[in-house]
């Protein structure tokens, strides 16, 4: 399953990354890369917990992430 990580920069300069397919999985970082890595780690922890508790379907046997930066309402690949 491919998860899209939406990333945007807040007005205070921090970066916010969110995995849209996993409600509540979001993280801040000082840099775009830090926010992306933190949210991926959080998503993997949630998925591992689901697998351990028998709550994961077969779609979670293969996992990948793709970053998309949000500029207004348009999501596009990050190019920073």
Q: Which of 64, 63, 67 has the alpha carbon at shortest distance from 5?
A: 67
Indicate the pairing of strand 64-71 with strand 74-77: antiparallel
What pLDDT sits at residue 57?
A: 76
Q: How many CB atoms lie within 10 A of CB 40?
A: 19
Domains of the chain by start residue, with CATH: 2-77 (3.30.160.250)
Q: Kindly report the pTM of this predicted structure.
A: 0.76
Ordered per-residue pLDDT tens for the chain, 80 residues: 888 899 999 999 999 999 988 999 999 999 999 999 999 999 999 998 988 888 877 777 677 787 777 665 445 555 44
What burial class does residue 7 get, using C-beta atoms within 10 Å of its C-beta: 0-12 exposed, 13-18 middle, 19+ buried? Answer: buried
The DSSP call for residue 1 is: -
């Amino acid at each position: 399953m491919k998860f899209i990580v939406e990333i945007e920069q807040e007005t205070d300069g921090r970066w916010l990354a969110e995995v849209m397919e996993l409600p509540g999985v979001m993280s801040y970082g000082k840099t775009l890369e830090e926010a992306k890595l933190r949210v991926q780690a959080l998503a993997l922890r949630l998925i591992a917990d689901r697998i351990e508790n028998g709550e994961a379907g077969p779609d979670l046997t293969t996992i990948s992430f793709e970053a998309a930066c949000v500029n207004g309402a348009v999501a596009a690949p990050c190019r920073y």
